[in-house]
Chain A
Amino acid sequence: MFEPVLLRNVDVPDGHLLSTYEAGGGYQALTKALREHTPDEVIDLVKKSNLRGRGGAGFPTGAKWSFVPKRAGKPKYLCCNADEGEPGTFKDRIIMERDPHQLIEGMAISAYAIGAETAYVYIRGEYTLAICRLERAIAEAHAKGYLGTRILGSNFSFVVHVHCGAGAYICGEETAMLDSLEGKRAQPRLKPPFPAVEGLYASPTVINNVETLACVPHIVERGPDWFRGIGPDKSPGPKLYCLSGQVRKPGLYELPMGIPLRELVEDCAGGPLPGRKLKAVIPGGVSAPLIPERGLDVRMDFDSLAAAGSMLGSAGVIVIDDSTCVVKVATRIIEFFHHESCGKCTPCREGLNWVVKVLRRVEAGQGALGDLEQLEALCKGIFGNTFCALGDGAAMGLRAALAHFEHEFVAHIEERRCPFH
């Protein structure tokens, strides 16, 4: 039985309060980092742990930190990506609602490592309980000297501000988030320059996801070898999986990286609803291409899922059973991306508009056989031709649906109706 690391406090009564967090050993890792390690040593610990970003891209966290120039002549910033808009994902909300100090401690250690004195938590505006708990936790941490000036008697000073989003999926894209934080419409920036060199207010900036930052205190406390010993060596650590959709026990589960998707869906989440069979699973939020039932033995880590033609993404695992029309799911996903396209890049803005129209008519039984080639051509026109990954995610997901469930698309066209209605 895997002992929870990130979720160890979430079911503890008053787990969101400082007193509870301290009673469970909270802020010991920050104390240890400040007293026993230089900032570079902390970066080394995180590098050695092989921690990879939990927001979706899986970039090595220690490497990201090491790109921040040592002497910048400008203030450095840490931004916590708590925008969590990827459909099917709710892990960061639960950390912030039930164990916000774990995130704050992670931010303080990370800021110490990169030399930042200010952090902004960019949290989606809908998460009112999480916002409230996080603000309260920040105030508590300040009062106890875990935040503020000369933390725990060291030379390190650090403050955290909460910045509420206002409903735009694109803000989860790190450079769009920076534009949003600067008070602009959220649109992705061309890279380079990368945020580590020129990010918020053109200053060196590290952007990490909530779950990534929550891993940091545990790495400092228990060591990189312990972390690396959990799951596959190149993609290790405890991992939060968000199970939702047509499954008996939806919820948040913490297990090692690399557990088979089938185990997660059938054992943890209890499998399909009574009388139903699994049809497909989206393993990492709707940007991740769906996997048909026969592919469910794939392991849930960055590399295994990439090799299987999908991605771990945000580990938002959405279960689809045999009562559901894949064309309908694909249409809904593309409608989402179309709605959330920021409008900056023409292939995404116009291409998705076109894809939605074609998919809606296919789903309504008014499609023609040429529509499927049209969809493929549109995906080709979008993929790789945009500033950010929003359009790529949309195209990859649709391509997977077309590849694995072509017969359902064809049935809609030939029968001139949705076979599921």
Chain B
Amino acid sequence: MREKIEEAAARYPDQRSAIMPALLIAQREHGHLPGPVLEEVADILGVERIWVYELATFYTLFHTEPVGMFHLQLCDNVSCMLCRSEDLLRHLEEVLGIKNGGTTPDGLFTLSTVECLGACEMAPVMQVGDDYHGDLDITRIDALLDRLRAAAEQVPGPDLAPAALAGE
């Protein structure tokens, strides 16, 4: 992590600018950003810890709490809403047995609605890890969940969530 963060920091004349890239690197490595990781980032960059905390809590892509191995981020902004994203949300809540914002007990899935993903041409759209899945309907959602479950079975332990993401 240190090496990657230092490499990113070299792009800026001010170390403070490197906090955001450093947090993205740290989150990829750890899955989320608990306090000790934020402190490590601050120490690597030699910046105030409060600066790191305030960014980790301001920007929505940073998670200070753990998220599931697969973070299902369903867009429910206007274009997706007009293409019935609400039906997909209801379906996902039902089949996963969780509410929007929740994580399944096995730690496999976290479900969140998100603001516009910038892929309205394929609305309704959902981001899972690094990938966009568009033109979704209930059949496609079910097939996607099956694929994700199968992918999770290839991974030996629950601690390897970041490895699964990196392999996508």
Report how many residues on chain B are interfacial, defined by Cβ distance under 8 Å: 43
A-B contact list, 20 entries, CB within 8 Å: A89-B116, A90-B118, A163-B11, A165-B59, A166-B62, A167-B60, A183-B17, A183-B18, A184-B55, A185-B55, A186-B58, A243-B121, A244-B120, A250-B121, A318-B82, A318-B120, A319-B82, A324-B82, A332-B77, A336-B116
Interface residues of B in 12-42 (CB under 8 A from A): 12-21, 23-24
Q: Does B123 contact A (CB under 8 A)?
A: yes
The distance in angstroms between the C-alpha atoms of A386 and B165, with both chains bound, is 41
Inter-chain contact B21/A245, CB cutoff 8 Å: no
Is A84 on the interface with B (CB-CB < 8 A)? yes
Q: Are B116 and A333 in contact (CB under 8 A)?
A: no
CB < 8 Å: which of B12, B47, B77 contacts A87?
B77
CA–CA, A167 and B55, complex, Å: 11
Tell me whether B78 and A88 are in contact (CB under 8 A). Answer: yes
* Chain B residue contacts of A86, Cβ below 8 A: 116
**Residue contact B20 to A180, C-beta cutoff 8 Å:** yes
Inside 8 A of A185's CB, which chain B residues have their CB? 54-55, 58
A329 to B77, CA, bound (A): 9
Closest residue of A by beta carbon distance from B17: A183
User: How far is B114's CA from A340's CA once the two chains are assembled, in angstroms?
Assistant: 11
How close is A421's CB to chain B, nearest CB, in angstroms? 11
In the complex, A88→B116 CA distance in Å?
Answer: 7
| Those of B114-149 within 8 Å (CB) of chain A | 114-123, 127, 130-132
**Do the beta carbons of A245 and B78 come within 8 Å of each other?**
yes
B120's partner among A180, A184, A242 (CB-CB below 8 A) is A242
A183 touches B120 (CB 8 A): no
Q: Which residue on A lies nearest to B135, using beta carbons? A: A250
Pick the residue among B15, B79, B115, B132 that contacts A318 (CB under 8 A): B79
Main secondary structure of the interface of A (DSSP, over half): mixed
User: Given A126-B127, A163-B20, A251-B121, are A244 and B79 neighbors across the interface (CB < 8 Å)?
Assistant: yes
Closest approach, in angstroms, between the C-beta of A400 and any C-beta of chain B?
14
Contact among A93, A251, A340 with B118 in the assembled complex (CB-CB below 8 Å): A93
C-alpha gap A391/B69 in the complex (Å): 36
Which B residues are CB-close (under 8 A) to A382?
none
A75-99 vs B: 1/0 string, CB under 8 Å? 0000000001111111011000000
A161: chain B residues within 8 A (beta carbon): 11-12
B1 at interface (Cβ–Cβ under 8 A)?
A: no
User: B20 touching A166 by the CB < 8 A rule?
Assistant: yes
Give the docked Cα–Cα distance between A319 and B61 (Å).
Answer: 29
